[in-house]
Amino acid sequence: MKEKKIGKKISIALLLLTVIIAGVTIAYLQSKGNLTNQFDVGKVSAKIEENFDGQVKSNVRVTNTGNMPVYVRCNLSVYYETSKGKEQDSEAETKTDNISINVPEQGEDYTLEFPDGFKDNWLEIDGIYYYRKPLQNGESVQFIKNCKEVKKKDGEKLVVDISTQSIQAEPERAVSDAWKKVVVDSETKELKEAVRNENK
């Protein structure tokens, strides 16, 4: 009988020891430390900055105002705006109502000077100018050195309208998917003209 009691006590002790070991093991395996990962949302944006004294537009530059590297492209539109369109006060009037049918000619009606090294740093395709290299956040690049009206036309004002777009530099495929006419050179990381497949 004593042996039964001792055996029972040993069995209970072993069972209790097994439960304690199992509990410690589970607690160890489930233990976790506090680790906080903070993710910044990527912001892709760029803006045009320029100096304008009322007659000469100068030092036109594009600045990456986002928080990641981007590629940028610019569109340059030069046109005459009539005073007639501005005098009309109609809700039906669109922005194009005051654009003149006269087309300004570069060299004759206005001068346009690009910065040194422009052809090495910018790629022009179908009137759109692509800056070849990615701009880091806060970085700027000069697009136009100066633009000046040479010949004034009665009742018309020369308008030099510059707009910009930006796209994240990584992944490279994002660039070619969005901007079909350029691709990123995998070695230099510079934009180059996409090879056009005429069979499509």
Query: How many angstroms from the chain centroid is the CA of residue 199?
Result: 31
Mean pLDDT of 166-184: 94
Residue 182 resides in a domain: yes
pLDDT of residue 124: 96
Residues 63 and 129 in one domain: yes
What is the domain extent for residue 21?
Answer: 1-30
Domains identified in the chain, total number = 2
Residue 36 resides in a domain: no
Residue 54 resides in a domain: yes
Residue 169 resides in a domain: yes
Residues 21 and 110 in one domain: no
Residue 38 resides in a domain: no
Please tell me whether residue 9 adopts helix, strand or coil conformation: helix
Residues 110 and 188 in one domain: yes
pLDDT of residue 195: 85
Render pLDDT for 54-91 as a digit per residue (tens, 0 to 9). Answer: 888 999 999 999 999 999 999 999 999 887 654 444 44
Q: How confident is the model at residue 51 (pLDDT cuts 50, 70, 90)?
A: very high
Show the 3-state SS of 116-164.
CCHHHHEEEECCEEEECCCECCCCEEEEEEEEEECCCECCEEEEEEEEE
Residue keyed to tokens 């233990």 = 31
Residue 37 resides in a domain: no
Residues 145 and 172 in one domain: yes
Residues 132 and 172 in one domain: yes
Identify the CA nearest to 109 among candidates 70, 152, 73: 152
Residue 157 resides in a domain: yes
Render pLDDT for 93-139 as a digit per residue (tens, 0 to 9). Answer: 445 568 888 889 999 999 999 999 999 999 999 999 999 999 999 99
Render pLDDT for 179-189 as a digit per residue (tens, 0 to 9). Answer: 999 999 999 99
Q: Is the pLDDT of residue 92 over 60?
A: no
**In whole numbers, what is the pLDDT of the chain averaged over residues?**
84
